[in-house]
Amino acid sequence: MSEGAAKKEEKPRKFQAIRGTRDLLPPETALWNRVEQIAHEVFATFGFGEIRLPIVEQTELFRRSVGIDTDIVSKEMFTFPENFREQLDLRRDYLAMRARELRNQLPAKDAMKSFISFTSDFLDLAHSTFSRGQIPQTAENKDSLDQIHSRILSWEPKVKQKEFQCTEQDWLLFLSDIVMLANRLEIGGLISLRPEATASVCRAYIEHGMQQLPQPVKLYYMGPMFRRERPQKGRYRQFYQIGAEVLDHVRPAETILGEVDKELRRDAVIDAEVIEMLMTFFGKCGLQGTTVYINSIGHNAPNCRRGYVEKLRAELTRIKDKLGPDSQRRIDANPLRVLDSKLESEQPYIERLPRIADHLCDECKAHYAAVKRELDQRDVKYQENWRLVRGLDYYMRTTFEIIAPGLGSQNAVCGGGRYDGLVELLGGRPTKGIGFAIGEDRLILSLQEVDKRSSDTGVQSPLATHQSPPLYIAWMGERAYATALGAAKTLRNAGFRVELPPVEQKFGTALGRAVQLRAKYALILGDNEVTSGEWTLKTLADGTQRKVSEQQLIAELKKM
């Protein structure tokens, strides 16, 4: 069947957005734009600049930064083979298939030549991806490539000779060597839709040498993130985050000698300012009833968090039979995460577990106290929550979370924390970092709740999107149409929303339509108006009309 015929056979079919994704439609999108605009404005006043990041990154970046034991990396990422990987994989499969076919006989010279030339193409592609770092630049990969190269070099002249001869054994050895070497190549090269953006910001900080810039570097981003979770209210597979990160290179020990207190203070001020910025943003959005939870999880050292984790593990082991299977599993792998548990039956036991605040080293203690002092000075209200933890080694000291009303059990609108080890883990210089990510979908949901409640009480919500009502131009006749076009252009240039009906309507129909569109005014243009130059402006609410000239129109509208 030809392609055309196949097309004709296709029946019409309806499509739906895939599970966990959704369309955002007007008028709700106006709210999204407003929130994003407020973020741009507020973050700029705190000296942050916007970074726009790719939606896809190498899977390895997230494995390293988010951590392979997390739910996000172990089961929620959308991962694909990269294009070059597919090509290399396909060619490798083909190579193996050809080799299998050729193994059974001592083949004709032409077949040998073509196999060798195909192998040589495969090598070229593998070489170029290797030199661009798209397949891992390991010693093993280099060795495999070198060996394939040397096999080709020794066989190419052989098959070119007129009096070509080789034993079946030699040829078989060559085939199996090539297949073995090709299979030994580690191609890697998976990419994932980003489940979060901190990893990308750190990657970009390193990639663009931002350590050279005046520190700290303050960046923010907004955009979609992807996690394959069970969709429900406030939880989607494509969701949106607005986030910010502060990256600050670690000064060499000798330059801060005797200034440890000053350094601690610097970090604490940065932490507090980030939280202050966040609350300023929420405030400007009109989000009400939020609670800020903060905690310090110390740092990854025996005299600090590691000591605590050992104590915690011992205690958890003692009460193991009181815990559910998830928590039991975590005792060994990641005991801190037991504190995250929402399982009702475990709560009384968790409440009695040792708390990290009692096990912080002196520096972490001082840092935590300084953060709280700084928050107080900024008038940021918070509650301490000792169970707010992060499972990864590079997270340290400050962690925080903000919850908002109207969201059911998905009530966290923002999570954040300090991650001083991350940039180094990704191959950069020692760099301190702190950041947060706001769940924009949940923020919008909560604002809509506030909006609902305030419309019940008659209080004007700060987020009511003040889209001005349109002005409707009711025109009749071709001459009036030309005038209407001109009027629409002038009004739109002056920033008015204008509805210009595409076809002539009777005035009654036109005014009905204007009311439907919630227009406040209708500009009536008929033959009389065009001839006299006196236009009719009708106020739809009370039906009053007045005559205005073209020159007066805008001034008149602005007055009204």
Instruction: Choose between 347 and 377: whose C-beta lies nearer to ligand ATP.
Output: 347
Instruction: Choose between 222 and 270: whose C-beta lies nearer to ligand ATP.
Output: 222
Q: Per rule CB under 6 A, is residue 221 in the interface with ligand ATP?
A: no
Residue from 38, 437, 471, 473 touching ligand ATP (CB under 6 A): that is 437
Residue from 414, 423, 471, 491 touching ligand ATP (CB under 6 A): that is 414
Instruction: Choose between 413 and 434: whose C-beta lies nearer to ligand ATP.
Output: 413
Residues 79-118 that bind ligand ATP (CB under 6 A): none
Q: How far is residue 131's CA from residue 542's CA, in Å, rounded to a whole number? A: 75
Kindly indicate which of the ranges 42-50, 153-161, 434-442, 471-479 contains the residues binding ligand ATP, using the contact rule CB under 6 A. 434-442
Instruction: Choose between 158 and 235: whose C-beta lies nearer to ligand ATP.
Output: 235
DSSP lists the bridge partners of residue 79 as 192
Q: Per rule CB under 6 A, is residue 227 in the interface with ligand ATP?
A: yes
For ligand ATP, how many residues bind (rule: CB under 6 A)?
17
Determine how β-strand 412-418 pairs with β-strand 396-403: antiparallel
Q: 241-260 mask for ligand ATP (x: CB under 6 A)? A: x-------------------
Query: Would you say the C-alpha torsion 293, 295, 300, 302 has a positive or negative sign?
Result: negative
Instruction: Choose between 57 and 441: whose C-beta lies nearer to ligand ATP.
Output: 441
Instruction: Choose between 216 and 415: whose C-beta lies nearer to ligand ATP.
Output: 415
Q: How far is residue 64's CA from residue 426's CA, in Å, rounded to a whole number? A: 7
Q: How far is the CB of 286 from ligand ATP (least distance, A)?
A: 18
Q: How far is residue 447's CA from residue 223's CA, in Å, rounded to a whole number? A: 19
Residue 223: count other Cβ atoms within 10 Å of its Cβ: 16
Q: Per rule CB under 6 A, is residue 449 in the interface with ligand ATP?
A: no
Q: How far is the CB of 486 from ligand ATP (least distance, A)?
A: 48
Q: How far is the CB of 410 from ligand ATP (least distance, A)?
A: 5
Instruction: Choose between 239 and 368: whose C-beta lies nearer to ligand ATP.
Output: 239
Instruction: Choose between 283 and 354: whose C-beta lies nearer to ligand ATP.
Output: 283
Q: Per rule CB under 6 A, is residue 337 in the interface with ligand ATP?
A: no
Q: Which helix (H) or strand (E) holds 185?
A: none
Q: 366-405 mask for ligand ATP (x: CB under 6 A)? A: ----------------------------------------
Q: Note whether 225 and 415 are within 8 A (CB).
A: no
Q: How far is residue 249's CA from residue 213's CA, in Å, rounded to a whole number? A: 10
Cβ-in-10-Å burial (0-12, 13-18, 19+) of 224 comes to middle
Among residues 460, 457, 451, the alpha carbon closest in space to that of 288 is found at 451
Q: Per rule CB under 6 A, is residue 194 in the interface with ligand ATP?
A: no
Residue from 415, 421, 428, 435 touching ligand ATP (CB under 6 A): that is 415
Instruction: Choose between 403 and 540: whose C-beta lies nearer to ligand ATP.
Output: 403
Q: How far is the CB of 29 from ligand ATP (least distance, A)?
A: 17
Sequence-ordered list of residues with C-beta below 8 angstroms from that of 421, at least 6 positions apart, any chain: 300, 393, 394, 396
Q: How far is the CB of 225 from ligand ATP (least distance, A)?
A: 7
Q: How far is residue 181's CA from residue 147's CA, in Å, rounded to a whole number? A: 8
- String of b and e for 134-171 (b: at least 16 CB within 10 Å)? bbeeeeebeebbeebbebbeebeebbeeeeeeeeeeeb
Q: Give phi and psi for 486, each to the nearest 5.
A: -60, -45
Instruction: Choose between 201 and 510: whose C-beta lies nearer to ligand ATP.
Output: 201
Q: How far is CA 250 from CA 134, 212, 263, 389, 425, in A?
A: 30, 12, 10, 24, 14
Q: Per rule CB under 6 A, is residue 475 in the interface with ligand ATP?
A: no
Instruction: Choose between 269 and 403: whose C-beta lies nearer to ligand ATP.
Output: 403
Instruction: Choose between 182 and 222: whose C-beta lies nearer to ligand ATP.
Output: 222
Closest chain position to ligand ATP (CB):
439
Residue whose structure tokens are 């950069």: 428
Q: How far is the CB of 239 from ligand ATP (least distance, A)?
A: 3
Q: How far is the CB of 337 from ligand ATP (least distance, A)?
A: 11
Q: Note whether 511 and 521 are within 8 A (CB).
A: no
Q: How far is residue 409's CA from residue 403's CA, in Å, rounded to a whole number? A: 10
Residue 427: count other Cβ atoms within 10 Å of its Cβ: 11
Q: Per rule CB under 6 A, is residue 442 in the interface with ligand ATP?
A: yes
Kindly indicate which of the ranges 235-243, 265-273, 296-304, 419-427 contains the residues binding ligand ATP, using the contact rule CB under 6 A. 235-243
Q: How far is the CB of 59 from ligand ATP (least distance, A)?
A: 17
- String of b and e for 375-398 (b: at least 16 CB within 10 Å)? beeeebebeebbbbbbbbebbbbb
Secondary structure of 477-489 as H, E, C letters: CHHHHHHHHHHHH
Q: How far is residue 232's CA from residue 408's CA, in Å, rounded to a whole number? A: 11
Instruction: Choose between 413 and 422: whose C-beta lies nearer to ligand ATP.
Output: 413
Q: How far is the CB of 234 from ligand ATP (least distance, A)?
A: 6
Q: Which helix (H) or strand (E) holds 92?
A: helix 83-103
Instruction: Choose between 151 and 418: whose C-beta lies nearer to ligand ATP.
Output: 418
Residue from 248, 363, 441, 529 touching ligand ATP (CB under 6 A): that is 441
Sequence-ordered list of residues with C-beta below 8 angstroms from that of 540, at least 6 positions apart, any chain: 511, 514, 515, 519, 520, 521, 522
Residue from 239, 368, 400, 535 touching ligand ATP (CB under 6 A): that is 239
Task: Report the SS3 class of residue 205.
Answer: helix
Q: How far is the CB of 312 from ligand ATP (least distance, A)?
A: 20
Binding site for ligand ATP (CB under 6 A): 196, 227, 229, 234-236, 239, 241, 410, 412-415, 437, 439, 441-442
